[in-house]
Structure formats: structure tokens, C-alpha cells
Amino acid sequence: MSAPIVFIDGDQGTTGLQIHERLRNRTDIKLFTLAAAERKDARRRAEAINACDIAILCLPDAAAREAVDAIVNPAVRVIDASSAHRTQPGWTYGFPEMTPGQAERIASARRVTNPGCYPTGAIGLLRPLLQAGLIPSNYPIGIHAVSGYSGRGRAGVEEHERQDALNAPSFQVYGLELAHKHVPEIQTHAGLAKRPIFVPAYGAFRQGIVLTVPLQLRLLAPDVDGATLHACLALHYADALHVRVLPPHEASVLTHLDPQALNGTNDMRLSVLLNEEHGHVLLAAVFDNLGKGASGAAVQNLNLMLTRQ
């Protein structure tokens, strides 16, 4: 049996480049990309995507939809790293650890939509707690996250790494219209009845994310406390290879959260931080926006899908 052909469409962006880097030395697949002169040739791209076994789309949303529409070969399977299909029927959400059986669903899926970077952290924290009934679905959720500038794509990298990068901002909060495109994805896959408030920011570091969700214990059931929330997350991710929940004795001595702590990995670290006196809890996720938040997740999904080739 010949090695499956994996086609990366859009391998020149930040996500595509890292996927290519993670896959280029593998011998169990035939990795294929288009030459520079062919990347904007619709006919050539259609030929390439219909000749592969699995296509990984690292494209803007509109281009990703066009690429999927060009598929006429029913055997072609897709991992879409854009946000075009993350809440669309017929697409399997590519977060293997999200819920029991999700990895198996991804393995057998024809169409997989890679999670967004911010939603990976938010859903990773919230979905198990909502599913267990520890957080009500109508809780007024607020989310704050700080990402490395690569989260802006090539524009962010160029702004911070060009010769006059001294003029690049050291920190900026954005999405002030409170309508970030990741919000519907977070609401849908976390299981929230109401839109969360999401406030993102970029820092002057290349990659990595810290995402936090504050909770008021007085708004939860009387028997829910920090220990209950931690136990739920710890049980949910007990067998997860790429998600670790910090035990309470480690979380209690934290003095800061480093967004770059897991850079270069496909891992995510979750924490439940507690102030018992005031009844406040802070849920926190640390991961690489180009790892578990993008390229690493795509490769993880690819590996699952290769088991069902």
C-alpha cells in the first residue's frame, strides 16, 4: 500500500509553514505543495486537491470555501485550518480532547475543521465544566487572552520582525467592538446559551497564549468550589496526551503565567486558581498559538485520520 498523499494548500503562511516543518521529514506520507507560480492558478489547485488523500487548508476563509467547493473526488478528506467551517453542519470539530469519543469521530471524518487558537483554550476550560453542570449554560462568561504577534499572521510577523520593528507596539488590546469572529465558535462548542464577552490582545512576543476566564463562586451552585472545578477538569483530561491540568499544590504557588512556556509543543496546560476569601476562581490555559492552537492541532488531527486511511 502506497503512502497517502497529503496536500498543504497555503503553505506560505504562519500556520502552513509550521505544518510543513512538522511533516517534511515523515516517511509515512507523501507531502505535496504547489510551486509558487501555481498557487493562484485555480485549475492547478483544483487538480492538486482532487489528487490527494488528505488536504490541509491553510487559507483565508473565502479561499478555503472555494477549495472545498472544487473537490469532486469523494475520496478526498479535508482538514481546514481556517475559520470558514468551524460551526458548519457536516464538519467534525478537530479538538480530540474536547469530549469522549471526539478523537474517534475525527479519525473517521471526511471533513475536519481545526479549532481556532483562542477557542482551543476557552473550550478546553469551559466545555467539561458546562457538560458536568458545574457552570450553568447561561453564566455571564468573560474571557481575556493575550497571544503572540504571530496570531495576526504574516502581517504581525512582518510588523515585529522587520528592520523598523522598534516602532511595533509592545502590547495592544483589540476586538473592542466585542464581535471577534471566534465568539460563535466558543459559544457553540463550549455549550454556552449566551454569547461570552471575549477581549483579546497581542503582546510583543512571537508565539504563545495565556487565556483566562474569571468565575464568581456566588453565581454557581452552593456545593461548587475551586476543588470541585479542578477535580472535573482533572478527570476529563486524565488520559489526555496533550492536555495537562495542574494539580492544586502546583497551581496554588503560581505567581505568574508565561504565555511562551509551551512554545514549540502541541501541549496545553490548564489551571484552576482560587481566592477562597473572596470566592473568586480564575480558569487559565497556556499553550502555543502555533502549536495546540493551530499547526500542532492540525498534525494531531492528521495522525488520527491516517489511522482510518
Active centre residues (catalytic): 117
1, 80, 82, 202 from 275: Cα distances, Å: 57, 40, 38, 27
Dihedral, CA of residue 162, residue 164, residue 165 and residue 171, to nearest 10: -140
Helix (H) or strand (E) holding 65: helix 61-69
For residue 309, give every residue at least 6 positions away whose Cβ sits within 8 Å of its Cβ, in sequence order, or none: 4, 53
The 3-state DSSP class for residue 309 equals coil
Burial label, 8 (beta-carbon count in 10 A; 0-12, 13-18, 19+): buried
29, 51, 69, 306 from 286: Cα distances, Å: 31, 38, 36, 28
- Tell me the Cα Rg of the chain: 20
Task: Compute how many other C-beta atoms are within 10 angstroms of the C-beta atom of residue 232.
Answer: 20
Give the chain's count of helices (H) and strands (E): 10, 13
The 3-state DSSP class for residue 262 equals coil
φ/ψ of 268, rounded to 5, equals: -135, 135
φ/ψ of 199, rounded to 5, equals: -120, 105
The 3-state DSSP class for residue 263 equals coil
- Cell numbers given for 201: 490582545
